[in-house]
Amino acid sequence: MATISLEHVSKRYPDGTEAVKDLNLDIANGEFIVFVGPSGCGKSTALNMIAGLEDISDGALRMNTKVVNQLSPKDRDIAMVFQTYALYPHMTVRQNMAFPLKIAHMPQDEIDRRVKEAAELLELTEHLDRKPANLSGGQRQRVAMGRAIVRNPQAFLMDEPLSNLDAKLRVQMRTMISRLQQRLKVTTIYVTHDQTEAMTLGDRILVLRLGVKQQVGSPQELYDYPANLFVAGFIGSPAMNFMPGQLADSVLKWPFGDVRLPAETVRRLEQEKAPRDVIVGIRPEDFEDAALVEGAKREQGTTISVKPDVLESLGSEVFAYFPVPRAEAGQMEELQRVAAEVGTGDAPGSESTFVARLSPITTAREGVAFTLWLNTHKLHLFDAQNGKALGR
Amino acid sequence: MTAIAAPGTKTARHARTATQPTMPTGQKVRWGTANTITIAWTLFPIWWLIALAFKAPATLNDGSFWPNQWSWSNFSGIFHGTAFVKPLLNSIGIGVISTVISVVLATMAAYAIARLKFPGKSLLIGVSLLIAMFPLISLVNPLFNIERVLGLFDTWPGLIIPYLAFSLPLAIYTLSAFFREIPWDLEKAAKVDGASQRQIFTNVIAPLALPGIATTSILVFMFCWNEFLLAISLTSTNAARTAPAAMGFFTGVSQFTFPIGSIAAAAVIITIPIVIFVMIFQRRIVAGLTAGAVKG
């Protein structure tokens, strides 16, 4: 078990591209941290550098305060689980799991004991003498996990271990990994592009974009207080809705009419010398069917009239998609750039559709206008020029 | 090769399980005819050879493609004395030794080419390809002189060494294709599991490359086994003369009889090891060893 810290770590390739730029991060002993970001954000490169599979161009990587930049993977005492599982196809499950122990010249009875233990933990006992080709995806994934845990390593590194599984199995394995980590208390770094995995698994999440750290924090922190447009758009499903607006004194002017901002927010905006042009973000759940919002709560927000073109009922909630006035092109540059990188189908801002999460008892109908309430206390404001969060 | 590549495995599996639409009768007939003609075309010379080998010497020129009188006399003739037996042993010895050395060296070289970065890599590939393309005939004279001076002429090493030179490029080229198809992640996994470069090679890569090694072994062995030009130029006696070369020195019963029967019988004999070789290794080649390594 180990603490891992990255100090000004960078990765430059010979052709000049920088995959990871000046990354600083302290990972506590036993912590479960998730590196998340769209493809090409440098998360796997960062993981490979920690594993020792790629050289570190600049900066220092410390494990338990010792600099390990120059150590080869075998001397770092870490275990890794790969997206492709990377099981040795010519070996049985037992041999696969025993391989790292055998390489370490562990006595045979100790190997047998550990493999047996891990197999029981992962419910693989009856498959021990089968070859990977005869296992299902979930079983292969568990073997890969088994090969990692038999060693009692200093840290687990997991590179998108669930992305090859089908949706149902993915949820099962996610809980299993979570349980396993809590039980073994081994420092774990988990790489994924899936924000749901990141939110559900991580003690903390590191959001990366183009090799640059965007924000580190607990899942709730990232959700409630995204540091910039990118994090706001990336974390949360369905994604946050965005709309340009203007600040004038304590009033936000945007296509849904003027909104008087809470005094606390106004004070902080003044301190930050917030610019006039902003991008307003609002999460789908901060909308509600106005008919269902009562009294004091209703005063916290404003109402708008919308005509949803699609309603998706999931039983526990209803997603309403409704068109909104199209924004002026000039104000949307940063927003569109972010949307392209996040790679979400419902790219925020690139089209003029909002999504609202409503209570299932709503009476809203497709194509019929109704009054929608939105919580103005939950608005997120971002600088339209650089996407930084304002008034936090 | 589809059996080796993980993505390829998937397509192969799909092709097998997919319900194929039944072929219209007209198409069936056309395909059947084309296949029959092709098979007949390729097998006819082989049948002719076998027929000749089994004809009694007196009926060799009877103009029939079917031996009217089956006889083993051609076979017993060539195994009488050492004129063919010794060259056959030479062929087996030289072929096996060359194949083993060549495949061992090529496996290491191909792994390096496929997986490691080192200066001069492209030069190495270029030079080895260049050697493979060199016309053998242009080297016969210099080789003859060099070997005479070095005392290698008419010895086993005298043939094994040039065979290595010409089979290595072929072997390296074939094997590196196999190595490239082994998923990188396996190597990374082994690295993280604590294996050294050598352990990765012997425990993970080499076992997975077995089908490739088998294929390459067949190719190299066939090259050495069939080689004629060097075999006839760099040998002078049965000390190192290989079977194909020895067949050129066959004589008939008398000066005036043509040894076509003996040659046909010898040709049938030297074809047998190749057939056995292919049969042994065929299964290995087809068996996709890497199936299941990665999600396919």
- DSSP string over A28-61: -TT-EEEEE-STTSSHHHHHHHHHTSS--SEEEE
Query: Which of A208-212, A294-298, A349-353, B69-73 holds the top average pLDDT?
Result: A208-212
Domain shared by B101 and B172, yes or no: yes
**Rounded to the nearest 10 degrees, what angle do helices A137-149 and A93-103 cross at?**
20
Domain shared by B120 and B216, yes or no: yes
CA dihedral of B88, B91, B96, B97, whole degrees rounded to 10 = 130
Which amino acid appears at position A284 of this protein? P
Domain shared by B235 and B95, yes or no: yes
Starting at the earlier edge strand, list the strands of the sheet with A241-248: A257-260, A251-254, A241-248, A277-282, A380-383, A389-390
- Write out the H or E segment, with its range, that includes residue B175: helix B156-180
Residue B108: other Cβ atoms inside 10 A: 14
Q: What is the pLDDT of residue B20?
A: 60
Task: Quote the distance between the C-alpha of residue B32 and its chain's center.
Answer: 30
The alpha carbon of residue B204 is apart from the nearest alpha carbon of chain A, in Å, by 7
DSSP 8-state code for residue A344: -
Q: Tell me the three state secondary structure of residue B223.
A: helix
| Chain A residues close to B181, C-beta within 8 Å | none
Pairing of strands A380-383, A257-260: unpaired
Confidence of residue A333 (pLDDT cuts 50, 70, 90): low
Task: Give the structural domain span for B61.
Answer: 32-71
Domain shared by B50 and B156, yes or no: no
Residue B138 falls inside a structural domain: yes
Residue B179 falls inside a structural domain: yes
Are the Cβ atoms of A74 and B208 closer than 8 angstroms?
no
Q: What is the pLDDT of residue B296?
A: 38
The total domain count for chain B is 2
| Chain B residues close to A90, C-beta within 8 Å | 207-208, 289
Confidence of residue B274 (pLDDT cuts 50, 70, 90): confident
End position of a domain, from candidates B17, B40, B71: B71
Domain shared by B60 and B134, yes or no: no
Q: What is the pLDDT of residue A225?
A: 93
Pairing of strands A318-323, A241-248: unpaired
Residue A262: other Cβ atoms inside 10 A: 15
Domain shared by B54 and B89, yes or no: no
Residue B212 falls inside a structural domain: yes
Residues 6+ apart with CB under 8 A from A302: A256, A257, A259, A373, A374, A376
Q: Mean pLDDT over residues A234-262, rounded?
A: 85
Look at residue B15 and tell me whether its pLDDT is greater than 80: no
A273 against A339, higher pLDDT: A273
pLDDT digits (tens, 9 = 90+) for A143-181: 999 999 998 899 999 999 998 888 888 888 899 899 999
Look at residue B288 and tell me whether its pLDDT is greater than 60: no
End position of a domain, from candidates B41, B71, B101: B71
Q: What is the pLDDT of residue B119?
A: 87
Q: Do the beta carbons of residue A254 and residue A326 sit within 8 Å?
A: no
Which amino acid appears at position B125 of this protein? I
Residue B10 falls inside a structural domain: no
What is the CA angle A93-A98-A100, rounded to 5? 125
Look at residue B68 and tell me whether its pLDDT is greater than 50: yes
Q: What is the pLDDT of residue B36?
A: 95
What is the CA angle A375-A377-A380, rounded to 5? 95
The alpha carbon of residue A228 is apart from the nearest alpha carbon of chain B, in Å, by 35
Q: Pick the range with the lowest mean pLDDT from A291-295, A360-364, B46-50, B159-163.
A: A291-295
Find, among A126, A133, A103, A124, the residue nearest to A180 by Cα. Answer: A124
Share of chain B above pLDDT 90, in %: 32
Q: Mean pLDDT over residues B221-227, rounded?
A: 91
Starting at the earlier edge strand, list the strands of the sheet with A18-27: A18-27, A4-12, A58-63, A66-67
What is the CA angle B247-B253-B258, rounded to 5? 60
- Picking from B186, B188, B295, the nearest residue to A88 by CB comes out as B186
Confidence of residue A254 (pLDDT cuts 50, 70, 90): confident
What Rg value do the Cα atoms of chain B yield, rounded?
24
B19 burial via Cβ count (<10 Å: 0-12, 13-18, 19+): exposed
Confidence of residue B295 (pLDDT cuts 50, 70, 90): very low
Are the Cβ atoms of A103 and B194 closer than 8 angstroms?
yes
Could you write out the DSSP letters of every residue in A106-145? --HHHHHHHHHHHHHHTT-GGGTTS-GGGS-HHHHHHHHH
Q: Pick the range with the lowest mean pLDDT from B184-198, B247-261, B279-293.
A: B279-293
Domain shared by B53 and B100, yes or no: no
Residue A214: other Cβ atoms inside 10 A: 21
Residue A9: other Cβ atoms inside 10 A: 22
Look at residue A332 and tell me whether its pLDDT is greater than 70: no
Q: Mean pLDDT over residues A126-136, rounded?
A: 92
Q: Mean pLDDT over residues A341-370, rounded?
A: 74
Residue B78 falls inside a structural domain: no
Domain shared by B269 and B142, yes or no: yes
In whole angstroms, what is the distance from residue A270 CA to residue A281 CA?
19
Find, among A196, A158, A163, A195, the residue nearest to A177 by Cα. Answer: A158
Which of B115, B181, B193 best tests the A interface by mutation, with the highest count of A CBs <10 A?
A: B193
Q: Residue A222 corresponds to which tokens in the numbers above?
A: 């990232």
Find the CATH number of the domain harbouring B211. Answer: 1.10.3720.10
Q: Mean pLDDT over residues A54-74, rounded?
A: 91
pLDDT digits (tens, 9 = 90+) for B121-141: 888 888 888 887 888 888 899
Domain shared by B46 and B155, yes or no: no
A325 preceded by a cis bond (ω within 30 of 0): no
Q: What is the pLDDT of residue B292?
A: 43
The alpha carbon of residue A386 is apart from the nearest alpha carbon of chain B, in Å, by 38
Confidence of residue A345 (pLDDT cuts 50, 70, 90): very low
Find, among B156, B158, B278, the residue nearest to B214 by Cα. Answer: B278
Domain shared by B44 and B117, yes or no: no
The alpha carbon of residue A80 is apart from the nearest alpha carbon of chain B, in Å, by 7
Confidence of residue B254 (pLDDT cuts 50, 70, 90): low
Mean of per-residue pLDDT scores for chain A: 88
Confidence of residue A348 (pLDDT cuts 50, 70, 90): very low
End position of a domain, from candidates B21, B40, B71: B71
User: What is each CA distance from A284 to A13, A165, A271, A319, A321, in whole angstroms?
Assistant: 40, 28, 29, 8, 10
Would you mind telling me the total number of residues written for chain A in this entry? 392
Q: Do the beta carbons of residue A242 and residue A335 sit within 8 Å?
A: yes
Residue B47 falls inside a structural domain: yes
Q: Residue B201 corresponds to which tokens in the numbers above?
A: 């090679």
Query: Nearest chain B Cα to A161, which residue?
Result: B295
Domain shared by B177 and B62, yes or no: no
Residue with tokens 């901002």: A261
Residue B9 falls inside a structural domain: no
**Rounded to the nearest 10 degrees, what angle do helices A167-184 and A137-149 cross at?**
20
Q: Mean pLDDT over residues A219-229, rounded?
A: 93
Query: Nearest chain B Cα to A137, which residue?
Result: B295
A238 preceded by a cis bond (ω within 30 of 0): yes
Residue B49 falls inside a structural domain: yes
Q: What is the pLDDT of residue B276?
A: 83
Q: Residue B126 corresponds to which tokens in the numbers above?
A: 């270029």
pLDDT digits (tens, 9 = 90+) for A40-52: 889 999 999 999 9
In whole angstroms, what is the distance from residue A145 CA to residue A85 CA?
9
Q: What is the pLDDT of residue B230?
A: 92
| Chain A residues close to B204, C-beta within 8 Å | 88
Please give the backbone phi and psi of residue A341, each rounded to the nearest 5 degrees, phi first. Answer: -75, -40
Look at residue B285 and tell me whether its pLDDT is greater than 60: no
In whole angstroms, what is the distance from residue A42 CA to residue A119 CA?
33
Q: What is the pLDDT of residue A125?
A: 92
Are the Cβ atoms of A84 and B294 closer than 8 angstroms?
yes
Q: What is the pLDDT of residue B7?
A: 39
DSSP 8-state code for residue A311: E
Task: Quote the distance between the C-alpha of residue B197 and its chain's center.
Answer: 30
Confidence of residue B8 (pLDDT cuts 50, 70, 90): very low
The alpha carbon of residue A79 is apart from the nearest alpha carbon of chain B, in Å, by 6
Confidence of residue B82 (pLDDT cuts 50, 70, 90): confident
| Chain A residues close to B192, C-beta within 8 Å | 51-53, 73-74, 78-80, 157
Domain shared by B173 and B127, yes or no: yes
In whole angstroms, what is the distance from residue A54 CA to residue A72 CA?
10
Are the Cβ atoms of B189 and A82 closer than 8 angstroms?
yes
- Picking from B190, B293, B295, the nearest residue to A137 by CB comes out as B295
Q: Residue B143 corresponds to which tokens in the numbers above?
A: 């080789």
Q: What is the pLDDT of residue A1?
A: 66
CB of A122 less than 8 A from some CB of B: no
Q: Tell me the three state secondary structure of residue B209.
A: coil
Beta-bridge partner residues of A351: A348
Q: Do the beta carbons of residue B74 and residue B261 sit within 8 Å?
A: yes
Mean of per-residue pLDDT scores for chain B: 82
Query: How many Cβ pairs within 8 Å bridge chains A and B?
Result: 88
Confidence of residue A329 (pLDDT cuts 50, 70, 90): low
Q: End-to-end distance of chain B based on CA atoms, in angstroms?
A: 15
